[in-house]
Structure 1
Amino acid sequence: MSIYLNNYWSLYSEFINVLKNLKYREIPIALMTNFYQQIDTDLKIHMEQEEFAAKLTYASIKKSIEIQPFFEKMLVPLKKPLKTMLDGKILINLDYTRIPVEILHDHFSGEHTMVLSRSKTTDYYGIPNEYIGNFKRDTSETSKQLMKTAYSILAKYKDHPAFSNSFFIKTFIQRIPIIVDALETILNLFDEKDIATVLIGSTEDVVSRSLAIVASMKGIPNVCLQHGILMGEEAFIPVFSSHIAVYGEYEKRWYVARGLEEERIVAIGHPRYDKIFSCSSRVSRKTLLNEYDLDPNKITLLIITGPNLEESKFKKMISELAGNQNFQFLIKPHPWELGKRRIKLYTELESEFNSVHVIRDRKINTHDLIFHTDAVVSALSTVALESCLFNKPVFVYYFIQSNRLYDYYNRLGHYIQSDPIELVKIITIYFNSPNGKTDYIDVKEKFLLDSYRTENSGEELSNLIFQLTKVRPK
């Protein structure tokens, strides 16, 4: 682990230990907050220093292997043994599961399934919908008391590097009413509805985390899908669900190294990728090329970006690539960059080079872009994995500065580079040399064997639910 991550897990465990008796309906409130969002830039800078750990008194996590066991120790008193043969339906939380409607219909029926959403509609494309607002109750007085208690506990630590940080305290205190409201809502849902299993897409948000914890309290199996490639580990662990459905073998090793029992990990991919294997597109190549005034006789490279890029390296890469008259480029900014209007770097390159085109449409389908371009040059993004699944050549640039190393794409060998000149050389060799293509295919196939093998994740997920509950989703 990096210095920052070592200190992150130490601080997280200290936070839990100090607040472990602050509970709502026997559930520790501190377990329910998305902890990394309480850390501002100032605190993060302090946590990047090795001496930070010496300022902590009640930390319990010192090594990666201790992460999940620490949280399990807190969760075990709440859990009941998992049951099978339960009467009830499969509950799918619509937030973050991201299962395409057609895949949902292929593998789940309204007879055996219901969805939970923030919509008041009675059904979701034929599947019964439960409006989450119907299960809310007034918890304001309880929240006020818990907020007061939490503040009094943390106020004792005047010299603590985090508990004296105003942003850290304010963020946590302000979340308490949201946490209490979510827990009460989900507890009422389980009291009023017969549920055999729960499917969620993340446990970063408080509702999904509440669904996982309350289900486990009632002995109901619950599965969390993997919502993206494993980059920022704070978003993927601790695990609160009884089982996690991951992309491949890489994730299995990753979770086991952090103390999660292997039998809770199932490599079944994600249903949102199933349509990739049908190799279809909603628009034609001609339509796409015409829209961005692209030459059908040139090699079109799709450039996938991401926040916090080293701008000088990115400019160098594009400038060098643009010197090759055989290439033309579609730059797709990250949704966050578009939302924050931070695309000046890309529009300046568009103005400088006739072969560069920036996609400003936030609604454009990324899979259509991958399908109709000749290769993908990507930041450390899930899109690089998707492009491999589309059987497109993928080149990854590592142009970010961070407080940890990201090794997910290291298995691509020299097709991931932090040197823009070297990456341009590798891309050029690929398109100019038959051996370049052969070498790449070998590396890519080994990468996918370890990263993603499932072509029908929807069916695998349906089988997993049946295995856990004996309820056949369809």
Structure 2
Amino acid sequence: MSVYLSNYWSLYSEFIHVFKELKYRDIPLALMTNFYQQINDELRSNMEQEDFAAKLNNPGIKELSGIQPFFDKMTAPLNRTFKTNSKGKLLVNLDYTRISEKTLNEHFSPDHTLILSRSRAPEYFGIPNLYIGNFKGDTRSAAEELVQSAASIFAKYEEHPAYGHPFFSQTFIKRIPGIIDTIETVFNLYDQNPVGAVLIGTTEDVVSRSLAIIGGMKGIPGICLQHGILMGEEAFIPVFSSHVGVYGEYEKAWYVTRGLEEQRIAVIGHPRYDEIFASTRQPDPAIFEAFDLDPDKITLLVATGPQLDARKIQTLVTELVAGGQFQVIIKPHPWELSKKLISLYTDLEQKHKSVHVIQDRKVDTRDLILHSDGVIATLSTVALEGLLFNKPVFVYYFITANREYDYYNTLENYIQNEPEELINTVSLYFTTEEEKLKYEEVKKRFLLHSYQVRHSGEELLHLIHQLMERYNHEHK
């Protein structure tokens, strides 16, 4: 582990120990907060220092393999043995699962499935919908009491490097009413509906985490799908559901290394990618006109992301289009668009006729991949999607981070830290057949461990059937 991650897990485990008696419905509230969001830049910088751990009193995680076992020990007293519910239905939390209408209609019967959403609509895609707001209860009194208790605990740790930090303490305290409200809501939901299994897309948000933890308390198995490639590990572990569905063997090994039992991991891919393999979409010439593209140039999609080295990005794009062979479509990360942090890209667009920036968030990234001759991406899911679309993909490692990311390392020289090296690799690929053959072998080896599932919807249904034992998976 990096220094930061070692300190992160030490602090997280100590936080849970200190606040273990702060509970609602027997659930420690410290388990319910998305912990890394309580850490601001100042505290994060402190946690990157070697001596930070010496300031902690009771860290419970000291090595990589101890991460998941620590949290399993915390949730063990809550869990009941999973039981078969003859009337139980599959509950699909609509947020973050990213399952298309086509997949839902193909694999999930409306007679045996419930959708949970923030919509009051009676159904989604023909499947009965439960509006989460209908299950709320009055938790104001309990919230006030627990907020005061939390403040009293923090008051004892004014000199602590994290608990004495106003941002850290106030973020947690402000979340308490929402956490308690969600716990009560999910208990009511399960009490009023026959649920045999629950499907969620992440456990970063309090609703999904509550569905998983309270499901465990009621003997209901849960499956958490993988919502993106494993980059920020704080977003993927600890695991609170009984099972996780992962993309490939890379993720399986990743979780096992962090102490998750192998039998809780299912390599099933993700249904969101099934359409890539089944798609009959063809390039539309109108796209070139819409984005003012030159059909005679090689079109490269450049997908960006937060915390990139601006100088390197500028060099990469400028030198790519300088020779006249390439034109570049820049697709900013949604976070950059929401924060209006795209001036670097729009400046490049103004300077170079062959640079085009996509500012419309409604534009489907997959359409851009389909209409490109190659994809240049940071350490993101877009690179994986490009590979699954069978496009040549070149990865740039231009981010500043407090840990190493190795997901794309097996792409060999098709991942580079310097723009000049990446430009040379891209140019070589598009000028020599030998390089294209070499790339194909590298790509095959990468996908062998990263993504092999072409019918994830079927694999997911099979896993659900195994867990529920009686799930009726007749097609609609």
TM bracket (short chain)? over 0.9
The alignment partner of 1:432 has SS state of coil
The aligned counterpart of 2:300 is 301
What letter corresponds to residue 358 of structure 1 in structure 2? V
Letter in 2 for 1:340: K
Structure 2 partner of 1:313: 312
Q: 2-side partners of 1:245 and 1:280: how far apart?
A: 27
Cα distance in 2, alignment partners of residues 86 and 221 from structure 1: 14
Per-residue CA distance 1:192-227 (angstroms, 9 max, x = gap): 111010000000000000000011111111100000
Map 1:366-377 onto structure 2 (within 5 A).
Answer: 366-377=365-376
Structure 1, unaligned stretches of length 5 or more?
none
In structure 2, C-alpha distance between the alignment counterparts of 1:40 and 1:108, rounded to whole Å: 41
1:125-136 matches, cutoff 5 A: 125-136=125-136
Partner letter of residue 206 of structure 2? V
CA distance in 2, matches of 1:175, 1:31: 12
Provide the aligned length of Structure 1 versus Structure 2.
473
Deviations 1:170-202 (A, max 9, x none): 000010100100000000111111101000000
CA distance in 2, matches of 1:89, 1:82: 14
In 2: Cα distance, 1:42 partner to 1:312 partner: 25
Counterparts of 1:169 and 1:304 in 2: how far apart (Å)? 36
> 1:364 and 2:369 equivalent?
no
Q: Write the mapping of 1:134-213 to structure 2, written as runs, cut at 5 A.
A: 134-213=134-213
Question: Percent identity between the aligned chains?
Answer: 59
Q: Partners in 1 of 2:473 and 2:10 — Cα distance?
A: 41
Q: Which amino acid aligns with 2:462?
A: N
1:339 is displaced (CA, Å) by: 1.2
Give the residue type in structure 2 aligned to 1:325.
Answer: G
SS at match of 2:403: coil
Residues 109, 472 of structure 2: 8 Å contact kept = no
CA distance in 1, matches of 2:428, 2:385: 23
Shift of 1:109: 1.3
Counterpart residue number, 1:10: 10
Q: Does 1:406 align with 2:405?
A: yes
Q: Deviations over 1:57-96 (max 9, x none)?
A: 0111111111000000100000011123542110000011
Cα distance in 1, alignment partners of residues 410 and 213 from structure 2: 35
Aligned to 1:220: 220
Deviation of residue 473 (structure 1)? Answer: 3.2
Matched residue, 2:238: 238
Amino acid at match of 1:188: N
Whether the 8 Å contact between 1:113 and 1:473 is mirrored in structure 2 is no
2:352 alignment partner in structure 1: 353
Structure 1 stretches of 4+ with a deviation exceeding 4 A read: none
1:25-56 deviations in whole A, cap 9, x for unaligned? 11111000000000111111110100000000
* SS in structure 1 at match of 2:464: helix
Query: What is the alpha-carbon distance in structure 1 between the residues aligned to residue 344 and residue 13 of structure 2?
Result: 40
Unmatched tracts of structure 2, length 5 or more: none
Cα displacement (A) at 1:326: 1.4
TM superposition score normalised by structure 1: 0.99
Matched, 1:116 2:116: yes
Normalised by the length of structure 2, the TM-score is: 0.98
Report the Cα distance in structure 2 between the residues aligned to 1:424 and 1:176, rounded to whole angstroms. 50
1:144-176 deviations in Å (ceiling 9; x for gaps): 101111111121012100010000000000101
The equivalences for 1:439-458 within 5 A come to 439-458=438-457
Residue aligned with 2:402, SS: coil
Aligned partner of 1:271: which letter?
Answer: P
Matched, 1:384 2:347: no
Q: Which amino acid in 2 is paired with 1:386?
A: E
Contact kept, 8 Å, 1:462 with 1:472, in 2: the verdict is no
Give, in whole Å, the separation in 2 of the partners of 1:213 and 1:319: 50
The answer on whether the counterparts of 1:40 and 1:168 sit within 8 Å (CA) in structure 2 is: yes
Amino acid at match of 2:18: V
| Alpha-carbon separation, structure 2, partners of 1:157 and 1:339 | 36
- Counterpart CA distance in 1 for 2:16 and 2:86 is 33
Could you tell me which amino acid in structure 2 is paired with residue 233 of structure 1? E
| SS of residue matched to 1:9 | helix
Answer yes or no: is the 8 Å Cα contact 2:429–2:435 preserved in 1.
yes
CA contact (8 A) 1:90 1:114 kept: yes
Maintained 8 Å contact 2:283/2:370: no
Cα separation, 1, equivalents of 2:464 and 2:323? 51
Structure 1 residue matching 2:263: 3-state secondary structure: helix
Question: For 2:264 and 2:224, how far apart are their aligned partners in 1?
Answer: 11
Distance of 1:137 and 1:27 partners within structure 2: 17
Map Cα deviations across residues 111-166 of structure 1 (whole Å, 9 max, x no partner). Answer: 01010111111111110001111110000000110111111112101210001000
For the residues of structure 2 that align with 1:294 and 1:176, how far apart are their CA atoms? 51
Residue type matched to 1:261 in 2? Answer: E
